[in-house]
Structure 1
Amino acid sequence: MVRKVADCRRFPSVMNCTLTISGEEDEVVRAAAEHAVSVHRHEDTAELRREIRATLQDEKVLAYPMSGPPPPEGEIFDL
């Protein structure tokens, strides 16, 4: 299963929030909704959770081969 990411940096605000949440989709939606309510003062509604779910991105991870030379520094792979 691909991990999902919610990243406040993608949505500029007066708070300049830098929180990033990653994990399985349902747990990220739940945690991001709790964060939106407690920090950004949104109402926890079904619409808010739909909007959060729509903005999630697949997590990008650094992947290194089991043998052979390491990949170029900073190379990112989708898993």
Structure 2
Amino acid sequence: LDHQFAISQYRYFAAAALTHEGFGRPIPGGYLVAKREPYGVCGQIIPWNVPAIMAAFKIAPAIAAGNTVVLKPDENASLSTLELCRH
């Protein structure tokens, strides 16, 4: 179940990256335009609990925005995080 939830995070942000470039909507006092502007390198640390979900919460939005990710899992995390990074 954890991996299914993590997959849904990757799918959500992949869809957002494809559909929201230049997408605009009116807001009070102006107009909001979503723009893909990467920050660069994002250093991210995840805890030991539910590592697949925690990695998805960190990696998916950063990659969708065009950033590079340096992920540091907890040393007690499961091997699923290492497998994810290996591929």
Q: Same fold (TM over 0.5)?
A: no
Higher strand share: 2
* TM-score in terms of structure 2 length: 0.28
Higher helix share: 2
